[in-house]
Amino acid sequence: MSLNPTRRFSDRVDNYVKYRPSYPTAVIDCLRDECGLVETAVIADVGSGTGILARLFLQNGNPVIGIEPNKEMREAGEVYLAEFANFSSVNGTAEATALPDASVDFVTAGQAAHWFDREKSLPELRRILRPGGTIAFVWNTMAFDESPFMRGYEQITLRYFDGKPSRKDEMRGDVVAYLGAGTQVRDFTYAQQFDLPGITGRLLSTSYAPLADDPRHEPMLAELAELFAANEEDGRIRFLYTTELYFHQF
């Protein structure tokens, strides 16, 4: 039986906070240029997790409401974003945000919308959005074809990640159908740099990765260490992404 999506990351919060990537500031630039994002626009960040995407908007000056059902992730986000007076968080979901009607200018989701119930979530997100507002979904997609390390990393995930959908089966290709005609798509490049402990933490932050009580855990980490040794430069590797931004103004 698969774990409830709202609980998947409860035992991975530390690694998620330390090793998950942010998003390029080009996301903010694009929403400013194409959707009229201004500093006063109120953001509802749905599935806000530890606050990675929310922080990008907070640094832009926006008031942000983080909506996160997972207690451990929500509390980590509150700590991570404690310096921002214009951040608040709510125990809610994409299907039941607990926000008032027409109360936000942008609804965003970073690395989260694939968990949403497709039939129940869009009416709820439309309900909280003001007329003329924007829904924007962002994913960092691992650029598996861009380097020998990334190709090897994908093979490790295919061997050891139970239940992980293949690239062609992930729901992101259906986002345009979900948000409707007029949805815009933009791609940006992004990268992290890791030493071996860092790339190990990045791997273990993934909800499908076997943890220490799983017999696949140690063989997986041994393969990762071999891959790192074969590709590192000055003790580090570059972990490559394509950042996908989908947005629709309603």
Query: 87-114, pLDDT tens digit by residue?
Result: 999 999 999 999 999 999 999 999 999 8
Please report the pLDDT score of residue 167 as a whole number.
Answer: 47
Please report the pLDDT score of residue 1 as a whole number.
Answer: 28
What count of other Cβ atoms lies within 10 Å of the Cβ of residue 138? 24
Please report the pLDDT score of residue 2 as a whole number.
Answer: 40
Please report the pLDDT score of residue 173 as a whole number.
Answer: 61
Query: Inter-axis angle of helices 52-59 and 26-35, to 10 degrees?
Result: 60
Sequence-distant (6+) residues with CB within 8 A of 45 are: 53, 54, 57, 64, 65, 66, 67, 108, 109, 110
User: What is the third-level CATH fold of 5-142+165-191+242-249?
Assistant: Rossmann fold (3.40.50)
Task: Say if residues 167 and 158 touch (Cβ distance below 8 Å).
Answer: no
Helix (H) / strand (E) containing 88: strand 87-90
Q: Would you list the domain boundaries of the chain? A: 5-142+165-191+242-249
What count of other Cβ atoms lies within 10 Å of the Cβ of residue 219? 13
Helix (H) / strand (E) containing 129: strand 129-142
Q: Which residues of the chain have pLDDT under 50?
A: 1-3, 167-169
Q: In the sheet where 104-110 sits, what is the strand order?
A: 87-90, 64-67, 43-46, 104-110, 129-142, 237-249, 184-194
Question: What is the distance between the alpha carbons of residues 3 and 1, in angstroms, rounded to a whole number?
Answer: 7
